[in-house]
């Protein structure tokens, strides 16, 4: 009799009720008649039970029940062929055309570079000169600054500018060149730092063109528009000023991203191994990794984002401009949307239409089950992605479960002017408003958990292996809604404002301010590092302590409602305080040196891509396995290393093939638009003796 391979998810009757929606459930492959599928398996329940007896021998069949079953399509099924899926085929053709364009641009860029080298070699021997179409990158950069003015003059004189068109063509090839973008990605020179606040316009153009994290692009944009268009100096009167060193952020971002990958790896392979009981034992390394700070590490990204936003806007003196001209902030929001959305949409497109075709196996999700992630993703509306509102869905109802971070980040950015305006006008009142917002968020978080219908939160309070998934399943709003996640971002705003005030005081010629700043810093420095270290130790030890405490239903619910928002706040506060100490040169010298190493730069530039692709990469490795496998400590370590390496390799390809050229094109378009707008504005203004310079950004 022809059979069909199906995946059956089972639950033991003795397991807690909350486990129904949790990650730690058993999956077993069984073979059933080909006429049976996911829609009619209930009609053949008795048959499936008999077939499952051999597969589930360790359990008594009468003590288990099925949570879900889906059947894999046959090898010759149209479901496994991309040719029978028009949307998937169109997506594949579009991506293929884009890759062909990149390959052509790479070839042209290599050809022009080779021609330039040969001609320069000839000129060095003959001593002659001439006009060359091929130019080195340095020559191209020198000519770019004059292209706009030449275009304007030639336009007024009705003369074509062939040289300008040649430069633009070379620039396009350079932006799309795969080898050029790969070289820029791994450029670790000082000029390429993502977080240097005093780079020259030349350095800006090279060093920030490959930043990929949404925290970095905000700083890049401030620097590009302020330093490049307005030439902001970094010294006054020839005296070198104090500079905040933000390089340690690169190392923190990479370490945070790596921990996120490890946590997602643990959550994924727990359903694909033969010894889950050993892995989820409370004495195992796996348990320690998942339950320590896995749910809190995203707060580090929020704190970094808030700190950079506030510090850079105040440093570049943009606060008053944004307050008095809302259109400028709107333009900045549009830039930010266009900066992140293309990459976000490309990965969602892949998840919707292409991901199910790239692998196979009994655990692979072919999109045939209404309970599977692929089917939910296919049915998800594009509006959730395009409007940055996917964080209002449950994480596993979105095509990219880990992408709830991006909508939150964008939504925080929309309300940032309110807080910055008050900080600018009335700093004390602004701090009070921020603190009040944090308290309001904590109270709302408490009320949402304590007032819920879920009465048994002992698995969460005791840090059971399925506790985190239980929390996310039943309190997804607390996990991903902006009103519950904003405290970490607000902590970052406070740290960024204090960082700016410290820099101003350090550069002030007033001895009173300098003395006040030094005394305050000395007292703060004495306890700040200890406080941050103590918070991290408490967070790490909490799962061990919580697993030893006897909880009643009431005490567990109260403890989870109180401690969950408090821990999120403490983690963000500890991260922010350490960043403040490290960036001002008052942290641990060895640790700061380690986190500021230039080798972190390429990996830090991949942070956005890592957030987008890590779960898909992990699923490819684990769910593509042909059978269940046992896991040991050594194999667990090897699996973590494999998923981390694979995720960064995929992120590198995504960055080089898509993000770098798209972002480069966006920067070129915006620069030309700003220059044309400035030229039109200058032409329309009446001539006057005095000059009135106004910042665009």
Assess contact for 441 and 487: CB atoms under 8 A.
Answer: yes
In this predicted structure, which of 114-118, 212-216, 261-265, 445-449 has the lowest mean pLDDT?
A: 212-216
DSSP conformational letter for 361: S
Whether the per-residue pLDDT at 428 is higher than 80: the answer is: yes
Please give the average per-residue pLDDT across 358-373, as a whole number: 77
Span 73-86, mean pLDDT?
73
User: Token pair 């619910």 is at which residue?
Assistant: 557
Long-range contacts of 80-88 (CB under 8 A, 24+ apart): 80/357, 80/360, 80/366, 82/354, 82/357, 85/353, 87/352, 87/353, 88/353, 88/354, 88/357
Cα separation, 99 vs 43, in Å, equals 49
pLDDT above 80: residue 490? yes
Q: What is the mean pLDDT of residues 309-314?
A: 90
Whether the pLDDT of residue 317 is over 50: the answer is yes
pLDDT band of residue 232 (cuts 50, 70, 90) is very low
Give 193-257 as a 3 state SS string. CCCCCCCCHHHHHHHCCCCCCHHHHHHHHHHHHHHHHHCCCCEECCEECCCCCCCHHHHHHHHHH
* Residue given tokens 């944090």 in the structure block: 438
Question: Is residue 642 within 8 Å of 261, Cβ to Cβ?
Answer: no
| pLDDT-derived band at 149, boundaries 50, 70, 90 | very low
Q: Which residues contact 414 (CB under 8 A, 6 or more apart)?
A: 333
Average pLDDT of the segment spanning 453-471: 78
- CB neighbourhood size of 114 (10 A): 11
What pLDDT sits at residue 140? 47
In the predicted structure, residue 17 carries a pLDDT above the cut 70: no
Most confident of 122-136, 290-304, 405-419, 460-474: 405-419
Q: What is the pLDDT of residue 104?
A: 93
Tokens of 258: 């790596």
Structural tokens at position 654? 């995504």
What pLDDT was estimated at residue 48? 58
Which range, 39-43, 130-134, 558-562, has the best average confidence (pLDDT)?
Answer: 558-562
Contact residues for 309 (Cβ-Cβ < 8 A; gap 6+): 218, 413, 416, 492, 493, 496
Report the pLDDT averaged over residues 466-484. Answer: 82
Compute the average pLDDT of residues 183-194. 71
For the cut 80, the answer to whether the pLDDT of residue 640 exceeds it is: yes
- Select the more confidently predicted residue: 661 or 120: 661
Predicted local confidence at residue 697, as pLDDT: 33
Q: Residue 19 pLDDT more than 50?
A: no
Over 90: is that where the pLDDT of 67 sits? Answer: no
Which of 69-78, 212-221, 291-300, 561-570 comes out lowest in average pLDDT? 212-221
Higher pLDDT residue, 146 or 374?
A: 374
pLDDT at 614: 94
7-11, 355-359, 693-697: least confident range: 693-697
CA distance 414 to 416: 6
Is 305 within 8 Å of 253 (Cβ atoms)?
no
The tens digit of pLDDT for each residue in 169-182 reads 778 888 889 999 99
Greater model confidence, 135 or 291: 291
Q: Is the pLDDT of residue 470 over 60?
A: yes
- The reported pLDDT for the residue numbered 18 is 45
Which band of pLDDT confidence, cut at 50, 70 and 90, is reported for residue 469? confident
Q: Where do the H-state alpha helices sit in 19-136?
A: 45-55, 86-126
Contact 616, 609 (CB under 8 A): no
pLDDT of residue 347: 95
Residue 226 near residue 318, CB atoms below 8 Å: yes
User: Residue 49: what pLDDT?
Assistant: 59
Question: Are β-strands 239-240 and 64-71 bridged in parallel, bridged antiparallel, or unpaired?
Answer: unpaired
Which stretch of 5-9, 48-52, 318-322, 421-425 has the lowest confidence by average pLDDT?
48-52
Question: Residue 658 and residue 98: Cα distance in Å, rounded?
Answer: 9
Q: Are 488 and 480 in contact (CB under 8 A)?
A: no
Q: What is the pLDDT of residues 240-293, one digit of tens each?
A: 566 788 889 999 999 999 988 988 888 777 667 767 666 666 556 556 555 555
Q: Rounded to an integer, what distance in angstroms lies between the CA atom of residue 154 and that of residue 151? A: 5
Residues 228, 171: Cα–Cα separation, whole Å: 18
End-to-end CA distance of the chain: 71
Q: Are 623 and 363 in contact (CB under 8 A)?
A: yes
Average pLDDT of 551-565? 89
Which residues on neighbouring strands pair with residue 33, listed in sequence order?
3
- Which one has a higher pLDDT value, 163 or 388? 388
Give the residue, 317 or 659, on which the prediction is more confident: 659
Q: Which of 42-51, 101-110, 141-150, 339-348 has the lowest mean pLDDT?
A: 141-150
Mean pLDDT of 175-200: 69
Going by pLDDT thresholds of 50, 70 and 90, the confidence category of residue 603 is: very high
pLDDT recorded at residue 29: 58
For tokens 């209002």, name the residue: 392
406: helix, coil or strand?
Answer: helix
Please check the confidence at residue 55 and state whether its pLDDT lies above 60.
Answer: no
Average pLDDT, the chain: 75
Mean pLDDT in residue range 523-546: 78
> Hey, which residues does 184 pair with through a beta bridge?
none
What are the φ and ψ backbone dihedral angles of 32, each rounded to 5 degrees?
Answer: -130, 165
Q: What is the enclosing helix (H) or strand (E) of 67?
A: strand 64-71
pLDDT band at 487 (very low <50, low <70, confident <90, very high): very high
Per-residue confidence (pLDDT) for residue 219, from 0 to 100? 42
Most confident of 66-75, 213-222, 278-287, 588-597: 588-597
- Most confident range (mean pLDDT) of 89-93, 220-224, 458-462 is 89-93
Cα(515)–Cα(689) distance, integer angstroms = 43
Q: How far apart are CA 151 and CA 134, in angstroms?
A: 20
**The token pair that represents 695 in the structure block:** 């910042």
Given the structure tokens 């966006």, which residue do they identify? 666
pLDDT number for residue 147 = 45
């Amino acid at each position: 009799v022809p059979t069909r391979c199906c995946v059956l998810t089972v639950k033991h009757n003795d397991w807690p009720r909350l486990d129904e929606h949790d990650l730690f459930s058993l999956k077993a492959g069984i073979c059933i008649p080909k006429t049976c599928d996911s829609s009619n398996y209930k009609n053949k329940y008795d048959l499936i039970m008999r077939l499952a007896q051999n597969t589930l021998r360790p359990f008594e069949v009468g003590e288990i029940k099925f949570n879900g079953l889906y059947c894999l399509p046959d090898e010759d099924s149209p479901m496994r062929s991309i040719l029978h899926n028009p949307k998937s085929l169109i997506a594949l053709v579009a991506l293929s055309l884009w890759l062909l364009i990149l390959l052509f641009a790479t070839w042209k860029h290599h050809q022009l570079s080779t021609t330039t080298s040969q001609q320069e070699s000839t000129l060095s021997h003959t001593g002659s000169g001439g006009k060359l179409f091929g130019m080195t990158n340095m020559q191209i950069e020198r000519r770019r600054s004059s292209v706009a003015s030449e275009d304007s003059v030639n336009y007024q004189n009705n003369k074509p500018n062939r040289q300008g068109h040649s430069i633009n063509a070379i620039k396009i090839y350079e932006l799309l060149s795969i080898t050029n973008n790969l070289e820029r990605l791994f450029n670790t020179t000082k000029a390429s730092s993502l977080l240097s606040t005093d780079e020259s316009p030349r350095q800006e153009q090279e060093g920030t063109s490959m930043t990929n994290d949404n925290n970095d692009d905000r700083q890049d944009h401030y620097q590009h528009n302020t330093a490049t268009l307005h030439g902001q100096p970094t010294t006054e009167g020839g005296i070198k000023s104090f500079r905040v060193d933000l390089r340690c952020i690169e190392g923190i971002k990479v370490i945070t991203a790596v921990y996120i990958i490890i946590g997602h790896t643990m959550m994924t392979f727990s359903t694909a191994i033969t010894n889950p009981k050993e892995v989820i034992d409370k004495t195992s390394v796996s348990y320690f990794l998942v339950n320590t700070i896995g749910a809190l590490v995203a707060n580090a990204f929020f704190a970094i984002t808030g700190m950079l936003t506030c510090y850079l806007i105040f440093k570049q003196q943009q606060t008053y401009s944004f307050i008095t001209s809302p259109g400028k902030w709107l333009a900045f929001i549009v830039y930010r949307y266009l900066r992140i959305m293309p990459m976000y949409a490309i990965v969602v497109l892949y998840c919707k239409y292409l991901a199910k075709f790239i692998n196979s196996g009994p655990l692979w999700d072919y999109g045939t089950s209404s309970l599977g992630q692929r089917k939910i993703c296919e049915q998800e509306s594009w509006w959730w992605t395009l409007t940055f509102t996917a964080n209002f869905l449950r994480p596993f109802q979105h095509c990219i479960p880990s992408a709830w971070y991006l909508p939150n980040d964008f939504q925080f950015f929309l309300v940032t002017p309110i807080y910055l305006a008050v900080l600018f006008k009335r700093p004390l009142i602004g701090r009070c408003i921020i603190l009040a917002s944090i308290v309001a968020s904590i109270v709302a978080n408490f009320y949402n958990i304590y007032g819920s219908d879920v009465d048994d939160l002992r698995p969460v309070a005791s840090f059971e292996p399925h506790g985190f998934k239980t929390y996310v399943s039943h309190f997804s709003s607390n996990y991903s809604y902006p009103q519950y996640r904003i405290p970490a971002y607000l902590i970052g705003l406070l740290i960024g404002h204090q960082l700016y005030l410290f820099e101003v005081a350090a550069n002030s010629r007033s001895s009173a301010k300098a003395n006040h700043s030094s005394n305050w810093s000395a007292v703060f420095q004495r306890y700040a590092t200890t406080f941050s270290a103590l918070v991290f130790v408490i967070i790490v030890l909490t799962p061990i302590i919580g697993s030893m405490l006897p909880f009643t239903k009431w005490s567990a619910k109260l403890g989870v409602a109180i401690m969950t928002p408090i821990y999120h706040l403490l983690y963000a506060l500890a991260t922010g305080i350490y960043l403040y100490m490290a960036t001002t040169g008052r942290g641990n010298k060895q640790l700061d040196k380690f986190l500021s190493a230039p080798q972190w730069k390429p990996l830090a530039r991949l942070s956005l891509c890592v957030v987008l692709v890590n779960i898909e990469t992990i699923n490819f490795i684990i769910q593509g396995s042909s059978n269940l496998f046992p896991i040991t400590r050594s194999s667990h370590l090897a699996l973590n290393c494999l998923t981390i390496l694979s995720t960064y390799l995929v992120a590198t390809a995504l960055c080089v093939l898509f993000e770098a050229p798209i972002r480069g094109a966006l920067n070129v378009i915006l620069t030309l638009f700003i220059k044309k707008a400035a030229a039109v504005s200058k032409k329309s203004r009446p001539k006057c003796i005095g000059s009135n310079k106004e910042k665009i950004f």
